[in-house]
Amino acid sequence: MFYLKQLQEGIDFIEAHLESDIPLSEVARAAGMSQWHFQRIFKALTNETLKTYIRSRRFAKALEQLTNTRLSMLDIALAAGYETQESFTRAFRDCFRLTPSQYRKMGNRSLFVRKIRFDPSYIAHLHQNVSLAPVIHEQPAMQMVGLPTDYYGIDSEKNNLGQKLPPLWAQFIPRLGEIANAVPGVCYGVVAPAGPQSEELRYLACMEVRGAGTVPTGMVCMQVPASTYARFTHRGAAQNVDATVNYIYSSWMLSAGQSHTLGPDLEIYGAQYHPTSEDSVMHYAIPISCTGR
């Protein structure tokens, strides 16, 4: 359960810096993780983005100050990260359907947003009756050719996965015949951070190739390094794969004594995949290293 300790360290860092600007990269650094993986695991466990949680905790502190102190509205607004009292009041009203002044008069403690405490029982509560078990296998290095895009995943408030990935695949599938020396029968979605401190992910809809060949116009070539992969089966509609990914990043990875290598994840679409069938089967694989925990 080492990841739980890391996540809690990130939460504790947020609590200690609520009155200052909190870069997401600094939260992840305090937890000893990359920004992308901290956000990914946090979203899987809590079903909210890290930015939303930080904003909620700042509101919680503001609620407490409104009830228990005589601080001015401006001081409370500044401590909550707002530049003006007006912007704070507007955001507060949008969130709670009343103004800070109205809340101060009511003293309504039921609005408090509580600090998260990660523990094994909390995870078990979120994932009842899940029994997914991966196939662990050594994946040789692969040369991929396909169409790329950058997008915001479900762990971001800017999530535009639904707007970016389906059109990408719609463009890519008709062009499979253009890829020289392609390994037939399987397509891949390669998922990796777009940059070391970026919220965006880089996605490649692609096929594996063996041997040199001309890369078709608009496509790119990418090397996926050799790694040990944990491959999970996802059954049903592909748009629900986030439920499988959430399980992998929370329940399984947190308890299996494995850690993510920070290499690319793989979506694997073989002969059993069908885009609309409930009987469809695809796989999602993450690169791992045994930690011995």
Clarify whether residues 162 and 69 are in a common domain.
no
Q: What is the mean pLDDT of residues 69-92?
A: 91
Q: What is the mean pLDDT of residues 48-73?
A: 86
Both structure tokens of 185? 């029968």
Clarify whether residues 160 and 23 are in a common domain.
no
Clarify whether residues 78 and 140 are in a common domain.
no
**What is residue 205's predicted lDDT score, i.e. its pLDDT?**
98
176 contacts 185 by C-beta, under 8 angstroms: no
Q: Is residue 116 part of a domain?
A: no
pLDDT above 70: residue 120: no
Q: Rounded mean pLDDT of the chain?
A: 85
Report the alpha-carbon distance of residue 53 to residue 255 in Å, rounded. Answer: 24
Query: Interior CA angle at 13 toward 8 and 14, to 5°?
Result: 100
* Better pLDDT: 96 or 8: 8
192 contacts 263 by C-beta, under 8 angstroms: yes
Q: Is residue 127 part of a domain?
A: no
265 contacts 282 by C-beta, under 8 angstroms: no
**What is residue 229's predicted lDDT score, i.e. its pLDDT?**
97
Q: Is residue 122 part of a domain?
A: no
* Better pLDDT: 63 or 291: 63
**What is residue 129's predicted lDDT score, i.e. its pLDDT?**
32
Asked which of 78, 111, 144 is the last residue of a domain, the reply is 111
Crossing angle between the packed helical segments 35-46 and 24-31, to the nearest 10 degrees: 90
Clarify whether residues 279 and 200 are in a common domain.
yes
pLDDT above 60: residue 127: no
**What is residue 117's predicted lDDT score, i.e. its pLDDT?**
67
Give the number of domains in the chain.
2
What is the domain range of residue 166?
Answer: 135-290
Report the alpha-carbon distance of residue 107 to residue 102 in Å, rounded. Answer: 9
pLDDT above 50: residue 97: yes
At residue 274, what is the residue type? H
Q: What is the mean pLDDT of residues 75-95?
A: 88
Clarify whether residues 99 and 139 are in a common domain.
no
Q: Is residue 121 part of a domain?
A: no
**What is residue 27's predicted lDDT score, i.e. its pLDDT?**
94
Clarify whether residues 67 and 210 are in a common domain.
no
Clarify whether residues 100 and 183 are in a common domain.
no
Q: Is residue 212 part of a domain?
A: yes
**What is residue 126's predicted lDDT score, i.e. its pLDDT?**
45
Report the alpha-carbon distance of residue 37 to residue 164 in Å, rounded. Answer: 21
Q: What is the mean pLDDT of residues 254-269?
A: 83
Asked which of 76, 111, 146 is the last residue of a domain, the reply is 111
218 contacts 255 by C-beta, under 8 angstroms: no
**What is residue 230's predicted lDDT score, i.e. its pLDDT?**
94
